[in-house]
Structure 1
């Protein structure tokens, strides 16, 4: 059987790897999607694939595929970081990203991360990973040492890392990933006083807890907690590698750290998925509904049903944080609805799902239907199914939709569902927690649309109210999230982490929408700058949930009127085409803007002279407070 590594070797040997780079991600996905592989086998093959991919020149790939997302990744650490490079390269490639890796000098991580003119900062990395092992503390200890010595060493290291986080906030780019320090048995059991040994454990864990808490005050910092990863992968270190090569971790932990770091990066780049599509038979319950009937399936507190009950509880937890849930099942619709409504063992009920597609059409049809109902692309879905034929179908027909390979052992379902962090996000907002209810409101609007006459009549009956104002401090996270997740109506495609929302002279404005069916929340933003020759709209965002209601027209009309009231001569706006925002290319011209672009500009600049300002659509009520107190809590 030909493996992904075999195919990559053939491409590399024949000089075709750069030209075939779009095929790399599906090959590597096949490695992680194989439900019958052990984790050790997966890590080994991915790492070996990464070793081969590190020999690839990114410029060669870009010569063949100029639109490949390319980013600079810096790696540094207290000890050697060589074992991180291969799995990190593989994880980037698995997600369709092309990495330019920059490696710091051995052991010089403090200089690398605090010197704003240093070599690492010069490359302006989008992701910086700093590898820290237990030796960052233990090497500071005198022989012999006491727990007090260890506590002081932990305090010094924490102060240094706080300085690192401060420096990255002030001068760094992208996101900085640190990790907690596993406490090795070889350290604890040097202390033969058992009470002192327990105290050492407390000191060490207090250090890790304080390190994790650093993220609260440093938005561009992420700290990967290694304790769960070590518990899942096995020993944190390899004694031989630790002594002979100064390697902080085992190969399995380095691979896990690489995966988590790319999850952080993926979330910061707006690649978070939105909807989990679940199979039913042998996924949410044991048994086949069409054959066994509702009394023959189980997901209750029995040895047979408990793995499915546990999975349902985890899925419910994801949904409470804003993950949308949907069903794609080869079953008749009526029995499925009955089970969701009445089966006594079900944790998940019909109201937990935004779409239930039960029927006998191919599952790619069901997934397209779900995406269409939600107004999102199929690449925002994640598909979980125990049937290898169904998974293969989705990989073939919807290659941008991630697939969770649920195997024949249901006890592993949760592990496989959570392995890739598809729904990880830098922050969960109030809008996230209410997302399922908001889509339920959208379904009510759709039902009303079917009972009204014209589209104009439908919009009038909705009673839409649009409120525009500066963001309050707690809303900056939501504004950042909109920039990361919005594709269709993101007029420049720019992604802004929270720490950049109020920089570079930006004056953001939030857009909130409500109607007769409820409050849609904070669903849009405009980024403006006032200059001597007028007002510039750097970008405009609007959630796909509220498109096609004239809300964007109302917002822009209000901004133009405000600029005219201020006596400004003109309003300028920027549009940069992306893969997802093509439908919005005519938005500015439709409201009276004319192109004002230099010939060599990669984006289109528009200008409105404010002589003829469009009125807001008649079915909207627009309430604008442009001078609101952004510092109000």
Structure 2
């Protein structure tokens, strides 16, 4: 039995048993790049109705200017592979504009994503004169303006995110113009169309755009099958639809907080060529001509990811002193020791080392991507930690960067200041651990840390970070409500609600915005819709300081009661006792209440609370 058939049989069994495919099955599914296999998997998973699951639910409407073909099946399989449980609702054929203009998909509630499948027919004149290139260009500009007005009007009326894509210019259009200057003008007009589609992402946070044109240019699939196009109005091949589904999956993965945070890197034959212990630092292949330049590009890419907030971990079977010397002294090394937030250089099993690195960083191993050249090491990590995304660095080193980047493991909807600071923030965890060893009690240590909690009302400048916290925080997430950017922006603008952000700093540096609260501010009762807090600040009493601040704001606004809820999940057990610890009364059914009399909740004595702007509701 082939691996593919085994996967399909496993998915069929999961559907029959009404259970979610296991993490190993989903990880395998996520790596599949054969559209035919994904189409079969998507058909099987259409009947998936698990009784219990820990996947992220996501409603997706698919609106198209053409026949969608196998897009629904391929998209479903791609999303399940990413850890999403999708409900996909294709729009009616031939009613793209009407459905988007009227919100016709909203009868059963607004979807989370509206994935649009566009083809050239929407933008081309019904009849066009190859001699009248100016007329052609003007028609294309008008249709772009129509699409822009349609999309921006739609996102003003609902909170869904619309996902668009650039549109390839068909060869039959391009090559119908035989004059080279005129052909260039046609191509320029089409490039202007795609530039305009891409620009829509800058006009609204509720618009995302995939550059399908550049993806197709770098892929082994033909974009079009002329016979299928004419026979069934199918402008794209299954291969092209797979590429688009992968882009939608990458965005959905980022939007739902399922992207990875950590890149764990092997060293020998991964970050440089050769085995350090055998050839010495001077003998490894790095820099210069091939293959050294390929390994330099791996390091350059990893550094570029780190600059955008990806946490780097070094995981190598080597002698630590030799590795440290090589990373420090080799003139072509781009990743010096300080580039790594955690280091596991020893002769122990790499699965154990990854577990240890995760514990050091305070993150789950499901946040990890592991790049290694050894099939044995990859197989062992996959068997021990199936939730880790394992990538192969063996074979031609020129392909390593493509392997690392093509899946979009680290994508985020918007890059925030906290993202960029994250590697340094996690590196300081080790410094805090060393510092703690010199104190007789934890309270002495906390007083010496000099913890400061800064509270601010969320604004348009922080909405991306707040939505990211909602999507990606699992452990200290009290209700599981994941307000995206649109929902958070609505609450920020509502005078009857409060969205607050919480930032923490101490003697080791500024942690940035590490928490957020969404609150309904009634006359008598304030209700906390959700409170999320990064796990990296737990243990310092920050959560109690936040509860005290919320109680004080509610009381000063005239409320008599502060209410909170706790909705248990498979991952938020660490927060289960929060409300009780903060002095709230268990009212049953997950509800907790606090009478706002006097200092209902005390701020820990070692925390200084600062208010960054006008916060009361």
TM (normalized to structure 1)?
Answer: 0.91
- Distance in 2, matches of 1:242 and 1:145, equals 26
Per-residue CA deviation, residues 169-189 of structure 1 (Å, 9 max, x unaligned), is: 233454221110112222122
Q: Does 1:566 align with 2:554?
A: no
The equivalent residue for 1:438 is: 425
- For 1:347 and 1:429, the matched residues in 2 are separated by 24
SS in 2 for 1:62: coil
1:411 is aligned to 2:398: yes
Kindly indicate whether residue 41 of structure 2 is the aligned counterpart of residue 49 of structure 1: yes
Unaligned runs of 5+ in 2: none
Deviations 1:549-601 (A, max 9, x none): 1111112112212322333211111222222211111111112111234x5xx
Q: What's 1:30 paired with?
A: 28
> Does the Cα contact within 8 Å between 1:169 and 1:220 map onto a contact in 2?
yes
Q: Would you say the 8 A contact 1:79–1:133 is kept in 2? A: yes
Please state if 1:507 is matched with 2:498.
yes
Which of 179, 195, 208 does residue 222 from structure 1 map onto? 208
2:114 to 121, 128, 131: 128
Once the two structures are superposed, what CA deviation does each residue of 1:199-233 show, in whole Å capped at 9, x if it has no partner? Answer: 22221111111111111222121111012211122
* C-alpha deviation, 1:4, in angstroms: 2.4
SS at match of 2:16: coil
Query: Whole-Å Cα distance in 1 between the matches of residues 135 and 70 of structure 2?
Result: 30
1:67: Cα distance to partner?
A: 4.8
Structure-2-length-normalised TM-score? 0.94
- Equivalent residue, structure 2, for 1:387: 374
1:540 aligns with 2:526: no
Please say if residues 283 and 385 of structure 1, whose CA atoms lie closer than 8 Å, have aligned partners that are also in contact. yes
Matches within 5 A, 1:90-489: 90-116=77-103, 118-119=104-105, 122-142=108-128, 146-233=132-219, 234-489=221-476
Q: Distance in 1 between matches of 2:235 and 2:293?
A: 38
CA contact (8 A) 2:263 2:311 kept: yes
Is 2:569 the partner of 1:578?
Answer: yes
Q: CA deviation at 1:114?
A: 1.7
Q: Tell me if structure 1 keeps the 8 A contact 2:557–2:616.
A: no
For residues 521-569 of structure 1, the C-alpha deviation after alignment (integer angstroms, 9 at most, x for no partner) is 2222222221122222222122122111111111211221232233321
Partners of 1:284 and 1:618 in 2: CA distance: 47
| Structure 1 partner of 2:485 | 498
Residue 18 of structure 1 corresponds to which residue in structure 2? 16
Matched, 1:596 2:598: no
Relative to structure 1, is the Cα distance of residues 145 and 487 closer, same or farther in structure 2, using a 3 angstrom cutoff? farther
**SS, match of residue 494 in structure 1:** coil
8 Å contact from structure 2 (residues 263, 370) kept in 1: yes
Conserved 8 A contact 2:360-2:429 = no
Checking the alignment, whether the CA contact within 8 Å between 2:75 and 2:246 is kept in structure 1 is yes
Shift of 1:381: 0.9
* SS class of match (2:614): coil
Q: 1:593 to 1:67 in 2, by over 3 A?
A: same
Deviations 1:83-135 (A, max 9, x none): 2122112212222333332212222211121212x246535322321111122
- Distance across 1 between alignment mates of 2:460 and 2:79: 33
Q: Deviations over 1:142-193 (max 9, x none)?
A: 3566322322222232223223322432334542211101122221222222
> What is the distance in 1 between the residues matched to 2:445 and 2:594?
31
Distance 2:101 2:265 in 1: 46
Distance 1:558 1:33 in 2: 46
1:614 matched to 2:606: no
1:62 is the counterpart of 2:60: no
Shift of 1:412: 1.0
Q: 1:528 is matched with which residue?
A: 519
15-24 vs 512-521, which deviates more?
A: 15-24
What is the match of residue 5 of structure 1?
Answer: 5
Change (3 A) 1:502 1:472: closer
Q: How has the CA–CA distance of structure 1 residues 6 and 369 changed in structure 2, closer, same or farther, with 3 Å as cutoff?
A: closer
- C-alpha separation between the residues in 2 aligned to 1:128 and 1:366? 41
- Provide the C-alpha distance between the structure 1 equivalents of 2:7 and 2:402, rounded to a whole number of angstroms: 28
In 2, the alpha carbon distance for the partners of 1:25 and 1:503 equals 35
Structure 1 alignment gaps of length 5 or more = none
Q: Tell me the secondary structure at the aligned position of residue 496 of structure 1.
A: coil
Alpha-carbon contact 1:114-1:163 (below 8 Å) kept: no
Q: Is the 8 A contact 1:112 1:121 kept in 2?
A: no
RMSD: 2.3
Q: C-alpha distance in 1, partners of 2:594/2:163? A: 43
Q: Distance in 1 between matches of 2:59 and 2:553?
A: 41
Answer with 19-28 or 385-394: which moved more. 19-28
Distance (Å, rounded) in 1 between the aligned partners of 2:248 and 2:396: 28
2:129·2:136 contact (CA, 8 Å) conserved in 1?
no
How far has the Cα of 1:32 moved from its partner? 5.9
Contact 1:75/1:102 (8 A) holds in 2: yes
Contact 1:141 1:153 in 2 (8 A): no
What is the number of residues matched between the two proteins? Answer: 611
- The question of whether the paired residues in 1 share the 8 Å contact of 2:257 and 2:472 is answered with yes
Q: Is the 8 A contact 1:47 1:255 kept in 2?
A: no
Q: Is residue 79 of structure 1 aligned with residue 85 of structure 2?
A: no
Q: Quickly say closer, same or farther: Cα 1:143–1:99, change in 2 above 3 A.
A: same
Q: What is the deviation of 1:51?
A: 3.8
